[in-house]
Amino acid sequence: MRLQSQISRGVAAAAVSVVLAGGAVACGPQDGSAESGGATGAAGQPRKGGTLTVLNSDPQNDFDPARLYTSGGGNVPSLVFRTLTTRNRENGAAGTKVVPDLATDTGRPNADATEWTYTLKDGLKYEDGTPITSADIKYGIERSFAAELSGGAPYLRDWLVGGDRYQGPYKDKKGLDSIVTPDARTIVFKLRKPEGEFPFVATQTQFAPVPKAKDTGAKYEEHPVSSGPYKVVRNENDGERLVLERNPHWSEATDAERKAYPDTIDVRSGLDPAVINQRLSTSTGPDAAAVTTDTNLGPAELAQITGNKELASRVGTGHFGYTNYLAFNPKVKPFDNPKVRQAISYAINRTSVVNAAGGSALAEAATTFLPEQAAFGHTPYDHFPAGKAGDPAKAKALLKEAGFADGLTVTLTHSTAQNRQTSPEVATAVQQALAAAGITVKLEGLENNAFNERRWDAKNTPGFFISRWGADWPSGGPFLAPIFDGRQIVTNGSNYNHAQLNDPAVNKEIDEINKLTDLAAAAARWGALDRKIGEQALDVPLFHPVYKRLVGKDVKNVVISDWTGVLDISQVSVK
């Protein structure tokens, strides 16, 4: 989930009005491919050499594979940390596939997918020329369990046999028995339950190898040992500035995914979003060979891009598996009444909500919880069809059936942060739509940290609030299970099952789908489950965000996959 938070901050970059260099241009999708909308950048074939500058708002902090969440930080970590598997580095839907990285394949499961075996490729080396072994991957995973290196994805604690009790190699020298390395190239994972999507989890940075002799604990982030095409030569202020140079022992022969065109990558963070977009649009000096991985164009900026073909050609469009929605807590009245929840579903004016989120260029109306991508198993449905502007008459009729013929008053909790996802503007759009149906909405705005604490607190979850969710990999599993699996309800920590749904039939279907290693078959069942859960009106899908980002005028080979929705640095050329 942390990866999604980072991406959403990029989407939420302030919609400030800046005068973009080159005049006003129209910016509809300028597609490098029909799927991704990747910017084309400068003409000519990509070549090796030069320096790529990355201009970001958020720093590349905690630059340790144990502490990073998936490929957080806009793909920068994957330049240094290779993993057993990785994303297919292609535009659009093709980029949602998992492919081998350090391993020779995406993994070999046993009959019930409770055991996965990987074999490492020949010739893998660290930046110092020493060989990468399966024991290094085992150790890299084990250190991610250490309390002082927390922050990474939580799946292995739940999935690995004994993972729920293991405290990392600094306290438990014995290691995890559920990770076996019979030889230097083989690694076997023993799971507590069937997990057909284990190859997706193996893309996460915890699966990067770490040589035990070079482990410096919490200081490892200052100079992690590279297994990728670049090594860290400079890390200032915990990732505020990160400089990467070529790893001379990385071999293209073992890495089909990363192109590694630039000689140097200079990541500069802590910048204001308006400044980032101004520098990219002007593209003078080093900024001509610059990109951003976390800063979106806002609606005011896009409104000024209305005629300059050159500038429009440098706007990349990305789609990521993310849904913004209204959440109900049925334990709070009147949301325990399904007809009240249905009435609100009919009353929503998605046109006004999309406009509040930045307009149709930055948000696409949603009626399904799963994003509109095949990899997630998206199955179209609209159980409460209200058209683009809502159906207040239908909503009023349902309220009357629920015993609220004279209307009712409810409270909508939201964040006061200007992030265009749980923002005051979206809350106001919801408020106005429900007013037309006789529902008076009182707005409760909370500072963002307080809002997050409240919405994830099972004992204090609001009855009605604006929320959002994104998946750690492109599948319905990490989308639906945390939100609707009753066994994942957490009463003393972060609880994402806002409705506290604990339906044995839903839980059983989740288990059955998790047994499947046929991802297409699994996707179809995730979509069917989404449709089934949707009948209960436990949430109101509002919109899926769209990412619009500028690149410098000398940037070539822009690739934006539907896995991340952001530019893949490993493919970029600046010469």
For the chain, the domains span: 2-267+551-571, 322-547
CB contact set of 325 (below 8 Å; sequence gap of 6+): 366, 369, 466, 467, 468, 469, 539, 540, 541, 542
Architecture field, domain 2-267+551-571: 3-Layer(aba) Sandwich (3.40)
Contact 87, 320 (CB under 8 A): no
Contact 558, 571 (CB under 8 A): yes
Q: Are strands 230-236 and 186-190 parallel, antiparallel or unpaired?
A: unpaired
Q: Which residues pair with 409 in a beta bridge?
A: 440
Q: Which pLDDT belongs to residue 21?
A: 37
Q: Which residues pair with 65 in a beta bridge?
A: none
Supply 527's token pair: 């979509």
Q: Which pLDDT belongs to residue 71?
A: 52
Hey, CA dihedral for 252, 256, 259, 265, is it positive or negative? negative
Contact 7, 320 (CB under 8 A): yes
For the chain, give the number of residues: 575
Q: Which pLDDT belongs to residue 422?
A: 57
Q: Which pLDDT belongs to residue 575?
A: 83
Contact 83, 202 (CB under 8 A): yes
CATH of domain 322-547: 3.10.105.10
* 62-65, long-range: CB < 8 A, 24+ apart: 62/151, 62/221, 62/238, 62/239, 63/221, 63/224, 63/232, 63/235, 63/239, 63/242, 64/149, 64/220, 64/221, 64/224, 65/140, 65/144, 65/152, 65/205, 65/206, 65/208, 65/210, 65/224
Q: Give 460's DSSP letter.
A: T
Output the 3-class SS for 514-561. HCCCCHHHHHHHHHHHHHHHHCCCCEEEEEEEEEEEEECCCCECCCEE
Q: Which pLDDT belongs to residue 40?
A: 55
CB contact set of 560 (below 8 Å; sequence gap of 6+): 32, 36, 37, 38, 91, 92, 95, 316, 317, 318, 566, 567, 568
> Helices 338-347 and 424-435: crossing angle, nearest 10°?
100
Alpha carbons 278 and 14: distance in angstroms, whole number: 13
Supply 309's token pair: 């073909």
Residue 235 DSSP SS3: strand
Q: Which amino acid belongs to residue 74? A: G
Q: Which pLDDT belongs to residue 34?
A: 31
Please give the C-alpha separations between residue 187 and each of 139, 153, 161, 169, 401, in angstroms, as whole numbers: 11, 20, 15, 18, 60
Q: What is the largest CA-CA distance in the chain?
A: 75
Cα dihedral value 295, 300, 301, 303, nearest 10: 140
Alpha carbons 438 and 441: distance in angstroms, whole number: 10
Whether 2-267+551-571 and 322-547 share one fold: the answer is no
CA-closest candidate to residue 280, choices 265, 267, 272, 291: 291
H helix runs in 436-476, sequence order: 448-455
Q: In which residue ranges of the chain is pLDDT below 50?
A: 1-37, 72-73
